[in-house]
Structure 1
Amino acid sequence: MAKLSPDTIVGIDLGTTNSCAAVATGDGQVRLVPYKGGEFTIPSIFAIDDKGHELIGHEAKRQWQLNPRNTLYATKRLIGRSPKDDVVDTVQRSVQYRLHGGAHNDVELDCHGRTFQVQDVAAKLLAKIRDVASDHLGFKVRRAVVTVPAYFTDRQRQAVKEAGRLVELEVVRIINEPTAAALAYGAGKKLQERVLVYDLGGGTFDVSIIEIRDRVFEVKATGGDIFLGGLDFDDAIIRHVLDGFREKHGIDLSGDPVAMQRVRDLAERTKIDLSVRTEAPFSIPFITMTPQGQPLNLEARFSRELLEELTRGLVQRTLDLVEQVMADAGVEPKDIDEVMLVGGQTRMPLVQQTLTHYFKKPPSKAVHPDEAVAIGAALYGWSLQESSDLKLQLLDVIPMAIGLEAAGGAMHVVLPRNAPIPNAKALAATSSLDDQSELMLRIFQGDHAEVAANELLGEFTFRGVRPAPAGAVRLEVLFEVNVEGILTVSASDLDTGKQMKRTLRVTQS
């Protein structure tokens, strides 16, 4: 086994519901970082208890039922996002803590009288993972490869890097979760295969088609939905249970945070049970009181058939995205050598049956759905180290188009969806007014024809434009996307050679 040093790059899967870390030690060997109790995953939960103590991971989860207002979970869905009403409203309906629009066109979270930016919570989770890994390895971990959903925007990737910076953890590289899973499956095995990675985690869904040619992993197309995951399957159960209780007793539990947390916990456990059983009880004693002060129990039974009926639409949404990505890659089901399942929600029999029917063969069981992403990240981290015996090449793509606001609010696409990265594209620009002194570009990411429906990445202002009649100044604007999918924009005056450049940061409102 290779000797690990403080320069070792660990792999971190920063998940919506659970996170996981791993370290590669050469010769294709990878070990997962264990937590207290021998588990390899840590809940992605942050809380502040009534004494003001900060709790992270298992400790935060243990007190969740009694302290739901001050327990922050599923925050990954909000990282790097604008506080568009539908986003905030969607999340607010399914969590017990409070959230609101922040001062920087972002989302902020309230916890125990304090306000946190979403990347602050991600930073605390990263610090906990780093500290546990450091204790396990015997030296302070300083460098990591961190994974994100393939469907994350530039702005969300920037926010994850920022979370690392906040706790002095160098995020050496950000790679996409499906790509990491493909690395766990194929690194060092001299494969020549086309795989489809179906990654249905706690909060996000990704699908990528990846061609593996020995040590080259080339993504042909990717797609996804960062508001589609196991939490939505839980919510379907919760809605059904609340409706039934309201019909029976005339009481709406949705306004009671402690009752709601008890229901949420049992909904997740019931869903998991129904992957191995066909029936499960749904029973919570003393869930609430009648107006006369009599205790009420919540009593129901759930069958796998009922769960499938409630969630069939969610599974169909994943299949629709699979079909879109297949079309983007120009392939048919028969062209896929293996279908790989990643993420805990893929254990659901309906998911596996749906994919088996579509691809006419069962999905592969070659990778562990909860651990593959961290393992792939660790292997890639190892390949980046100078002493590595494993050199891997990742050829990834942009998940959503990047473009500019054109006349009438239309999206002028500069780099289309599934364009390979790294990539660069130059655009010619000119002044539109006499003696104009600056040029301002609003840059968006998304696949809608109108910019209003896409995510604003930022505004780029090129100051010091040479005074001249309208149309006389010749400018060139260069868009460059690096291997991590992060965008840098630069502009130059072709007549004077003056240049200006910046990496797009989270937009200031």
Structure 2
Amino acid sequence: MHKEPIIGIDLGTTNSCAAIVEDSGNVKLIPYKGGEYTIPSIFAIDDKGNELIGYEAKRQWQLNPRNTVYGSKRLVGRGFGSEVVDTMKQVVAYNMRPGKQSDVILDVGKKEFALQEISAKILGKIREVASNYLKMPIKRAVVTVPAYFNDRQRQSVKDAGKLIDLEVVRIINEPTAAALAYGVGKGLKEKVVIYDLGGGTFDVSIIEIRDRVFEVKATGGDVFLGGIDFDNAIIHHVLKDFAAKTGLDLATDPVAMQRIKDLAERTKIDLSAREEVPFNIPFITMTSQGQPLNIEMKFSRKMLEQLTNQLVDRTLQMVARVLVDSGLSTKDVDEVMLVGGQTRMPIVQDRLTKFFGKPPSKGVHPDEAVAIGAALYAHSLQDDTNLRIQLLDVIPMAIGLEKAGGAFHTVFPRNASIPNAKQLLATTSMDNQTELAVRIFQGDNELVARNDMLGEFTFSGIQPGRAGAAQVEITFDVNVEGILTMRARDPASGREMKTTVRVSNA
């Protein structure tokens, strides 16, 4: 082994895993005890105050739902007031509240945690498993994120690494990592669609592979669409059915909800292989007279497809948009790759087969491709590597400024290639103005209010003069990881100021 290997980490919404390229050049998933390769992305504190991560956290989830955190990747880099947080509040048992910068704080077992800290705990667990397996300390990693993560969400993954002294050498997009797992070392010349429907997020990227060059043509997605939503469709149906039969609402009982959640996920998985399965939970609750009540129903694959049809539709609308953005037609696509556990659902494969006129490829393992691609990329960054990979990626949504009247001025359009830099000249709008405030947003809406604010940038010390007399030269720089840095310069005085857009508020 090298002195200091860089591992690849797939930090998933529901499960995480890691991989490494061995000296022989083989890529190996790092096994967890018991032979599993994935670790549930779950953090909990038990009643004795012990911190549990992964399987240990998952095992006690039913009995301790309020102090068990799952799906937290969906909340990363989000403001407390956002729609995403509102939706999550309705389905999780753990408590969320606004932090000082209107970010999200979680209360778990009498302690409070920022979301980066939860991500850091899961990263720490993966590192510990990898260190034990490789029998050496791990200090560096390439970590993947959904292609549709914005600047703030990417920044928070880097921050999570800092909290545990893990250097996140590079952040790469999950679909791009999957394309690496499929294409490295095969001398391909292909255009591939990566359809990545995981536990919490959906991404689709169109990538042109030219041997060792992987060029992303266009990307799109929804960081609020994934397997959890398919589970929730089953859960809502069960709750509605039970309330209709008994007049009782189980949604307020966290332990009952946890039992329903567990069975919903199992039922969804079973229906990928079978046409019908029973959905039975004994003694789910009591009547007011103390009579035990059971849930007894059947679930068919047809029912599940009806309940989740609009979720599958949403993914295909995004596929269509990304094709248009890339300038390609379905005929130009050589292969469609499926990534993420939710792509095992037969209807997803059927609909994609109809859409592209050919069945999806079995060229990558849906649960392992992202970690393998991250490890290959990590290996290509090492000093003594003979593997050179060139990644040409894009930003998932436009980055721009607020113009007068709340309009959005685009600096980088969506799917602009990265790394990328642009320069703008800004002028003062009032007489004797000595400060210039610039507010930066990311999103695809023409109104800034509909986009995510990345931060505010104030350049002071401008020479007072007439409105429009002073000019400030602003340089925007998006690096290979999709993270934005800004520099402002006053040509009159030569003063310069630089910042990575730090978020002041959400």
TM-score after normalising by structure 1 = 0.98
The AA in structure 2 aligned to 1:359 is: F
Matched with 1:62 is 59
The AA in structure 2 aligned to 1:289 is: M
Matched with 2:296 is 299
The AA in structure 1 aligned to 2:166 is: L
Q: Tell me if the contact between 1:9 and 1:382 (Cα under 8 Å) persists in the aligned partners.
A: yes
The AA in structure 2 aligned to 1:470 is: A
Report the secondary structure of 1:477's partner residue. strand
Matched with 1:116 is 113
The AA in structure 2 aligned to 1:485 is: G
- For residues 315 and 507 of structure 1, what CA distance do their matches in structure 2 show? 36
The AA in structure 2 aligned to 1:404 is: L
1:71 aligns with 2:68: yes
1:213 aligns with 2:213: no
Q: Tell me if the contact between 2:399 and 2:410 (Cα under 8 Å) persists in the aligned partners.
A: yes
Within 5 A, what are the aligned runs for 1:246-285? Answer: 246-285=243-282
| Equivalent of 2:283 in 280, 283, 286 | 286
- For residues 206 and 161 of structure 1, what CA distance do their matches in structure 2 show? 20
1:377 aligns with 2:364: no
Report the secondary structure of 2:430's partner residue. coil
Matched with 1:149 is 146
**CA shift digits 1:412-457 (9 cap, x unpaired):** 1110000000000111111112221111101000001111111000
Matched with 1:320 is 317
Q: Tell me if the contact between 1:199 and 1:343 (Cα under 8 Å) persists in the aligned partners.
A: yes
Matched with 2:238 is 241
1:501 aligns with 2:498: yes
Matched with 2:156 is 159
For structure 2, the 5+ residue unaligned runs are none
- For residues 31 and 37 of structure 1, what CA distance do their matches in structure 2 show? 16
**CA shift digits 1:263-282 (9 cap, x unpaired):** 00000000000000111110
**CA shift digits 1:229-276 (9 cap, x unpaired):** 000000000000000000001100000000000000000000000000
Q: Tell me if the contact between 1:442 and 1:458 (Cα under 8 Å) persists in the aligned partners.
A: yes
| Equivalent of 2:171 in 171, 174, 193 | 174
- For residues 82 and 433 of structure 2, what CA distance do their matches in structure 1 show? 36
Alpha-carbon distance, 1:142 to partner: 0.2
| Equivalent of 2:198 in 197, 201, 204 | 201
Matched with 1:474 is 471
For structure 1, the 5+ residue unaligned runs are none
Q: Tell me if the contact between 1:88 and 1:100 (Cα under 8 Å) persists in the aligned partners.
A: no
- For residues 456 and 425 of structure 1, what CA distance do their matches in structure 2 show? 19
Mean CA deviation greater in 326-335 or 427-436: 427-436
Mean CA deviation greater in 267-276 or 498-507: 498-507
- For residues 377 and 390 of structure 1, what CA distance do their matches in structure 2 show? 13
| Equivalent of 2:359 in 358, 362, 375 | 362
Within 5 A, what are the aligned runs for 1:298-447? Answer: 298-447=295-444
Report the secondary structure of 2:69's partner residue. strand
**CA shift digits 1:448-505 (9 cap, x unpaired):** 1111111000000111112222211121111100000000011111222111110012
Matched with 1:4 is 2
- For residues 466 and 380 of structure 1, what CA distance do their matches in structure 2 show? 48
The AA in structure 1 aligned to 2:274 is: R
Q: Tell me if the contact between 1:28 and 1:379 (Cα under 8 Å) persists in the aligned partners.
A: no
The AA in structure 2 aligned to 1:405 is: E
Identity %: 67
| Equivalent of 1:36 in 33, 49, 52 | 33
Within 5 A, what are the aligned runs for 1:217-236? Answer: 217-236=214-233
Q: Tell me if the contact between 2:78 and 2:85 (Cα under 8 Å) persists in the aligned partners.
A: no
Matched with 1:104 is 101
Q: Tell me if the contact between 2:9 and 2:371 (Cα under 8 Å) persists in the aligned partners.
A: yes
Aligned length: 506
- For residues 345 and 372 of structure 2, what CA distance do their matches in structure 1 show? 23
Q: Tell me if the contact between 2:81 and 2:102 (Cα under 8 Å) persists in the aligned partners.
A: no
The AA in structure 2 aligned to 1:86 is: E
- For residues 362 and 453 of structure 1, what CA distance do their matches in structure 2 show? 37
- For residues 247 and 396 of structure 2, what CA distance do their matches in structure 1 show? 46
Query: What's the Cα RMSD here?
Result: 0.9
Report the secondary structure of 1:99's partner residue. strand
- Flag the 1:413–1:384 CA change in 2: closer, same or farther, 3 A: same
- For residues 232 and 420 of structure 1, what CA distance do their matches in structure 2 show? 31
Matched with 2:125 is 128
Report the secondary structure of 2:186's partner residue. coil
Alpha-carbon distance, 1:28 to partner: 4.2
- For residues 43 and 342 of structure 1, what CA distance do their matches in structure 2 show? 17
- For residues 404 and 272 of structure 2, what CA distance do their matches in structure 1 show? 52
Report the secondary structure of 1:358's partner residue. helix
- For residues 505 and 371 of structure 1, what CA distance do their matches in structure 2 show? 33
- For residues 358 and 292 of structure 1, what CA distance do their matches in structure 2 show? 54
Q: Tell me if the contact between 1:158 and 1:506 (Cα under 8 Å) persists in the aligned partners.
A: no
The AA in structure 1 aligned to 2:352 is: L
Q: Tell me if the contact between 2:187 and 2:211 (Cα under 8 Å) persists in the aligned partners.
A: yes
1:458 aligns with 2:445: no
- For residues 167 and 251 of structure 2, what CA distance do their matches in structure 1 show? 41
| Equivalent of 1:188 in 185, 188, 210 | 185
Q: Tell me if the contact between 2:456 and 2:503 (Cα under 8 Å) persists in the aligned partners.
A: no
**CA shift digits 1:347-385 (9 cap, x unpaired):** 000000000000011000110000000000000000000
- For residues 241 and 38 of structure 2, what CA distance do their matches in structure 1 show? 34
- For residues 32 and 506 of structure 1, what CA distance do their matches in structure 2 show? 35
- For residues 489 and 158 of structure 2, what CA distance do their matches in structure 1 show? 28
TM-score after normalising by structure 2 = 0.99
